[in-house]
């Protein structure tokens, strides 16, 4: 079975994807040409061409390969295919733009209990399509009881508070020797390296942003106020 | 100064400016200047400055222009006296009497040990600081006390080697210099727990072991270096206090408190107004559980009482916690809390005189709903206070801690169960030589450390960039610590310090008269 799949990837899939990629690039080129008919500078046209090509085609390759690479058996062949596709659009294999980033961050709220049927489950608040669209209801088919909004908001608020507190209690780590800082007053490590936060500020902010988005989406006013204060949004 | 000297002074000053005074004008000026006993020179200067702005036809001054200027100045004074403006920005002559300064708006000053001066940190202060901010937090605290101790007469370097002071030379030596030296030396450092269970004294250079007081406090110790890294302490104590006036002289021009810098004339004028404002009273309550029927009933009794008083209090300070349930996973009825705030608004609104003439300040408690438990805590969320704001438009919601400037008096409010937490984190029991009252020990600790909350950061986290909001430097005139322990008041080296006690538990509160710094401990 595995052999068959690997063979399929190196032949059928590679050809199909190359074809689709070519069509995509041509299409994007057509679109950008129509746009750039008004522009006079040819240098600019070339530049926008490349970026357009990069954007759509690159994203396509990244997403498809990321999905296919989930199967461990064919991972190696998928990577080879990926390298070839990237070569076609002149992007280096290990370039930062070729790295796949999950566009939809996930947040799982643990131990949500339904007040009616006492069903306990973990909810993925960002990815679960049912939750994103409608009001939050118990997933048990016979139940369908909407979850208590105040309980949910409070659960999220407590997580936010806890994370904020933990940020300010975190250790500082030396950039060079990776040791945790022990002294209080010293500005440099004993190895003369400077310190960085163990939990990076940008990671922290992006995680908080998830909560803010949930709050805005579900109209949790108190949670929205608290998270916007943490993110320093005026 | 008797009248003839004043007269001569007025005449001389007018002559210097090229004015020729007529008799009526001179009388007018004299009557104005004599209103300000003790501040006559400044009043005269102020008047002459204003006179310059007037369009004068000739250098001979008649009664009329003087009269105009005098009435202008008196009007400005009356306007300031009439009633406190709402959140006034000092605009020329009409400054408001009560100014509330949110902790996040306090300017940040850092000490430069090389230039030996304070400089203001301009630019943004993010709530989430970088790694360097955490080290800077400790360093700034240390330097603040270090520069203070350097000016103290006992610890300053002798200028001339031949003169020996009575106390011997108690110069502070950096810890690094102790290595390889014998003899008694004085050291100053922060108590840090560098290894589990072992406490070290750390200063800007190195660390050595010691063993007491509170972790993270800065102490001064005298002793001898015995073995490698072990410093035998003979005496140990907190850095000596600096008189408020001495600090102000040094820091003149730097706005440490946040209330804005005042010119000398304004300071004098405000001091005069402050002395005269004997009817101004602040009523302070802490721990008001809005979801408890009995507490609301008692609060109504208090408000009824103050409604019927001849002069209503100018400011009511309501400190948290506002709910008997702390904000944690088990409590989720925020909508009912919101309606309870609305009910409080209606309750206050039912007292028309208070609504009209008093102002209401709300300071959140440690367990109130909000973004975090890290100090300084921002004001209560608008979601909870919207309804109350509708009933009471001049209610102010401020941070915890909060500073108030009453004319020239600096008052700091802080709601935190400090006494309990300090006693728990204490490394060694405080000596009962001077006093057995734990509240007095608490006051001594925070004033000597010049910091409202010298607890270890793991016990009470602090925003790294906002540690300066908790400084008590220069020492304020009054410190109000909302604590759930019993009501207490204590005057320590000129600082009035009191705890109104928990209103919801003991039904105690405090009425404070700022002009005389009088504390009235009250209970129901």
SS (H, E, C) A79-97: HHHHHHHHHHCCCCCCCHH
pLDDT at B159: 55
Mean of the pLDDT values across residues B337-341? 92
pLDDT band of residue B515 (cuts 50, 70, 90) is confident
Q: Which residues pair with B412 in a beta bridge?
A: B403, B479
- Measure B188 CA to nearest chain A CA, in Å: 13
pLDDT at A5: 80
Residues of A in contact with B190 (CB under 8 A): 184-185
CB–CB contact A230 B372 (8 Å): yes
Nearest to B134 among A161, A172, A230 (CB): A172
The more confident residue out of B415 and B208 is B415
pLDDT per residue over A99-108, tens digit each? 877 777 778 8
The more confident residue out of B236 and A9 is A9
The more confident residue out of A59 and B428 is A59
pLDDT at A137: 79
Q: Are B223 and B187 in contact (CB under 8 A)?
A: yes
Q: What angle do CA A95, A98, A104 make, to 5 degrees?
A: 135
pLDDT per residue over B153-202, tens digit each? 666 655 554 444 334 445 677 777 766 666 666 777 777 776 666 667 77
A234 lies within 8 A of chain B by CB = no
Nearest to A183 among B131, B207, B335 (CB): B207
- Measure B204 CA to nearest chain A CA, in Å: 6
A222 lies within 8 A of chain B by CB = yes
Cβ burial, residue B433 (10 Å; 0-12/13-18/19+): exposed
Secondary structure in 3-state letters for B289-328: CCCCHHHHHHHHHHHHHHHCCCCCCCEEEEECCCCCCCCC
Nearest to B371 among A186, A201, A230 (CB): A230
Residues of B in contact with A160 (CB under 8 A): 371
The more confident residue out of B87 and A154 is A154
- ipTM score over 0.90, yes or no: no
pLDDT per residue over A208-232, tens digit each? 998 998 888 888 899 999 999 999 8
CB–CB contact B332 A153 (8 Å): yes
pLDDT at B297: 93
Dihedral sign, Cα of residue B27, residue B29, residue B32, residue B38: negative
Q: Minimal CA–CA distance to B129: which of B378, B461, B470, B416?
A: B461
d(CA B380, CA B364): 6
Range 317-356 of B in CB contact (< 8 A) with A: 327-329, 331-335
The more confident residue out of B475 and A136 is B475
Q: Quick one: what percent of chain B has pLDDT higher than 70?
A: 75
Cβ burial, residue B158 (10 Å; 0-12/13-18/19+): exposed
CB–CB contact B381 A226 (8 Å): yes
d(CA B68, CA B60): 15
pLDDT per residue over A142-156, tens digit each? 887 888 888 889 999
Q: Quick one: what percent of chain B has pLDDT higher than 90?
A: 19
Mean of the per-residue pLDDT values of chain B = 78
Residues of A in contact with B327 (CB under 8 A): 157-158, 161
d(CA B387, CA B100): 22
Lowest average pLDDT, out of A75-84, B346-355, B408-417, goes to: A75-84
Which residue from B minimizes the CA distance to A205? B128
Nearest to A222 among B134, B329, B369 (CB): B369
Greatest mean pLDDT among A128-137, A210-219, B77-86, B147-156: A210-219
In B55-183, beta strands by DSSP E: 60-61, 98-102, 108-112, 117-121
A182 lies within 8 A of chain B by CB = yes
Residue from A184, A193, A196, A221 to probe the interface with B (highest B Cβ count within 10 Å):
A184
Range 107-166 of B in CB contact (< 8 A) with A: 126-128, 130-132, 134-136, 138-139, 142
Nearest to B461 among A168, A185, A194 (CB): A168
pLDDT per residue over B22-73, tens digit each? 777 777 777 777 766 666 777 777 777 777 766 666 677 777 777 777 766 7
The more confident residue out of B155 and B510 is B510
Q: Is the pTM of this model over 0.80?
A: no
Lowest average pLDDT, out of A161-170, B23-32, B127-136, B197-206, goes to: B197-206
Q: Is the pLDDT of residue B499 over 90?
A: yes
CB–CB contact B457 A153 (8 Å): no
Q: Minimal CA–CA distance to B416: which of B371, B359, B368, B457?
A: B368
Mean of the pLDDT values across residues B337-352? 91
């Amino acid at each position: 079975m595995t052999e068959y799949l690997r063979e399929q990837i190196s032949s059928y899939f590679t050809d199909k994807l190359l074809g689709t990629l070519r069509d995509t690039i041509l299409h994007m080129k057509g679109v950008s040409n129509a746009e750039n008919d008004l522009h006079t500078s040819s240098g600019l046209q070339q530049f926008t061409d490349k970026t357009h090509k990069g954007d759509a085609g690159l994203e396509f390759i990244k997403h498809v390969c990321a999905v296919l690479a989930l199967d461990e058996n064919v991972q190696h062949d998928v990577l080879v295919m990926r390298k070839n596709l990237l070569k076609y659009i002149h992007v280096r294999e290990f370039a930062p733009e070729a790295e796949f980033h999950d566009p939809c961050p996930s947040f799982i709220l643990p131990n949500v209990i339904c007040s009616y049927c006492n069903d306990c489950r973990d909810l993925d608040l960002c990815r679960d399509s049912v939750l994103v669209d409608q009001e939050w209801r118990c997933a048990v088919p016979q139940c369908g009881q909407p979850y208590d909004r105040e309980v949910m908001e409070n659960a999220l608020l407590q997580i936010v508070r806890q994370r904020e507190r933990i940020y300010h209690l975190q250790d500082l780590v030396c950039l060079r020797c990776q040791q945790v800082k022990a002294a209080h007053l010293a500005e440099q490590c004993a190895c003369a390296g400077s310190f960085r936060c163990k939990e990076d500020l940008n990671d922290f902010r992006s995680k908080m942003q998830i909560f803010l988005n949930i709050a805005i989406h579900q109209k949790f006013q108190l949670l929205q106020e608290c998270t916007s204060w943490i993110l320093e949004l005026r | 100064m008797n009248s003839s000297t004043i007269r001569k002074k007025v005449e001389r000053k007018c002559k210097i400016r090229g004015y020729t005074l007529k008799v009526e004008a001179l009388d007018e000026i004299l009557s104005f200047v004599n209103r300000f006993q003790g501040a006559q020179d400044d009043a005269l200067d102020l008047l002459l400055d204003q006179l310059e702005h007037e369009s004068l036809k000739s250098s001979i001054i008649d009664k009329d222009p003087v009269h105009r200027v005098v009435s202008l100045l008196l009007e400005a004074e009356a306007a300031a006296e009439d009633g406190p403006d709402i959140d006034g920005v000092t605009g020329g002559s009409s400054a408001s009497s009560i100014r509330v300064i949110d902790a996040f708006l306090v300017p940040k000053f850092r000490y430069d040990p090389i230039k030996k001066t304070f400089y203001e940190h301009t630019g943004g202060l993010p709530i989430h600081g970088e790694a360097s901010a955490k080290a800077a937090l400790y360093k700034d605290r240390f330097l603040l006390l270090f520069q203070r101790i350097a000016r103290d007469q006992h610890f300053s370097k002798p200028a001339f080697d031949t003169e020996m002071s009575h106390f011997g030379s108690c110069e502070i030596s950096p810890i690094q210099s102790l290595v390889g030296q014998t003899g008694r030396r004085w050291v100053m450092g922060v108590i840090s727990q560098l290894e589990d269970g072992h406490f070290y004294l750390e200063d800007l250079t190195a660390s050595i072991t010691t063993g007491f007081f509170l972790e993270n406090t800065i102490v001064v110790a005298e002793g001898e270096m015995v073995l490698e890294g072990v410093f035998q302490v003979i005496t140990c104590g907190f850095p000596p206090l600096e008189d408020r006036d001495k600090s102000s002289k040094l820091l003149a021009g730097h706005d440490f408190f946040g209330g804005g810098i005042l010119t000398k004339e304004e300071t004098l004028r405000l001091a005069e107004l402050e002395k005269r404002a004997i009817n101004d009273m602040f009523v302070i309550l802490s721990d008001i559980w809005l979801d408890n029927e009995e507490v609301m009933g008692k609060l109504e009794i208090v408000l009824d009482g103050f409604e019927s008083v001849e002069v209503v209090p100018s400011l009511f300070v309501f400190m948290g916690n506002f709910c008997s349930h702390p904000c944690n996973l088990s409590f989720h009825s925020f909508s009912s809390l919101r309606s309870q705030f609305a009910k409080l608004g209606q309750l206050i609104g039912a007292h028309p005189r208070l609504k009209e003439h008093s102002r209401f300040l709300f300071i959140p408690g440690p367990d109130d709903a909000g973004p975090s438990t890290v100090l300084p805590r921002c004001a209560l969320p608008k979601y909870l206070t919207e309804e109350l704001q509708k009933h009471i438009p001049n209610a102010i919601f401020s941070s915890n801690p909060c500073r108030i400037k009453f004319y020239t008096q600096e008052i700091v409010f802080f709601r935190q169960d400090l006494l309990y937490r300090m006693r728990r984190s204490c490394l060694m029991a405080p000596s009962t030589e001077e006093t057995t009252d734990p509240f007095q020990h608490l006051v001594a600790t925070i004033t000597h450390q010049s910091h409202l909350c010298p607890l270890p950061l793991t016990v009470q986290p602090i925003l790294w960039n906002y540690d300066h909001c908790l400084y008590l430097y220069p020492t304020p005139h009054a410190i109000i610590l909302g604590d759930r322990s019993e009501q207490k008041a204590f005057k320590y080296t000129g600082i009035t310090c009191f705890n109104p006690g928990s209103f919801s538990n003991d039904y105690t509160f405090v009425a404070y008269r700022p002009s005389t710094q009088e504390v009235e401990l009250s209970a129901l």
